[in-house]
Amino acid sequence: MSSETKSQTLGRWIPLECNPEVLNSWANKAGLVSSDFQFTDIYGFDEELLAMVPRPVQAILLLFPISDALEEKRREDDDKIKDQKLPENTLWIKQTIPNACGTIGLLHALANTNVSLVPESPLQQFIEAAKTKNPQERAEFLENTPLFANIHADAASTGQSAVPTDLDTDLHFTCFVEIKVDNEPHIIEFDGRRVGPFDRGVCPTGDFLKDVATLVRDVYVAQSSSIQYSMISLGPPSDW
């Protein structure tokens, strides 16, 4: 089945908003232990704003506007992915469902970190089953798991904005996780539109949050005059 035909068959999901209320709603329904881990806003790149983010940060989700410059850079980066070697337990899912990038970003964040999951929850069962599948099989597995479509739709309806009637969007989610490669902490980007997980290299300062913020500012924000960027961290619950 062609991508276009498959997309028409599957239908477009409602785009997720990038805010903690929506992402925590999704994660709680799917099976994240919310008393241990939550999603929190990252308000900016300044040291004072980054200091407000609860540590340690497990993963970072970025919502960004797609642009011609970023698309060209993505194609260049994709050529490098086939030569990169990551740990075998790295779990990446190809995006085949239109507007499912929010759910796929969440799955990437939760499947590649040491977060607490409710035993036998939809999330725990999906991740365990996905470990035995290749990326294409994982995509088909997600397509055939209607529960996640329902969780996605429920979370989308909790957002601060009205559900759009036009489901076309130029905004996209990607996810960053710190993974050790050859015993060194690397920033790994998980984007379902790519050809695989992308190793962005060693964390320059050893501070994952700070290093991802710098990467986002220099690689993503620098390519556009848009203000439609949002970052969310996955970490311990906030004390305030």
Contact call for residues 171 and 65 (beta carbons, < 8 A): yes
* Domain residue limits at 130: 3-235
**204 contact partners, CB below 8 Å, separation of at least 6:** 211, 214
Predicted local distance difference test score (pLDDT) of residue 225: 79
Predicted local distance difference test score (pLDDT) of residue 220: 96
CATH of the domain at 198: 3.40.532.10
**Considering the domain boundaries, does residue 240 fall inside one?**
no
Position 161: which residue type? S
Tokens representing 131?
Answer: 């470990």
Which residue is associated with the tokens 């429920």?
154
Given 18, 101, 175, 203, which residue is catalytic? 101
Predicted local distance difference test score (pLDDT) of residue 1: 30
Its pTM stands at 0.92
**Considering the domain boundaries, does residue 210 fall inside one?**
yes
**Considering the domain boundaries, does residue 168 fall inside one?**
yes
**Considering the domain boundaries, does residue 7 fall inside one?**
yes
Given 18, 108, 152, 172, which residue is catalytic? 172
**Considering the domain boundaries, does residue 76 fall inside one?**
yes
Res. 19: pLDDT tops 80: yes
Tokens representing 198?
Answer: 């992308």
Predicted local distance difference test score (pLDDT) of residue 224: 81
State whether residue 83 is helix, strand or coil.
coil
Catalytic residue check, 152: no
Distance between CA atoms of 154 and 37, rounded to whole angstroms?
A: 20
- Sign for the CA dihedral angle at 140, 127, 215, 80 comes to negative
Catalytic residue check, 172: yes
pLDDT level of residue 6 (50, 70, 90 thresholds): very low
pLDDT level of residue 4 (50, 70, 90 thresholds): very low
Report the number of distinct structural domains present in the chain: 1
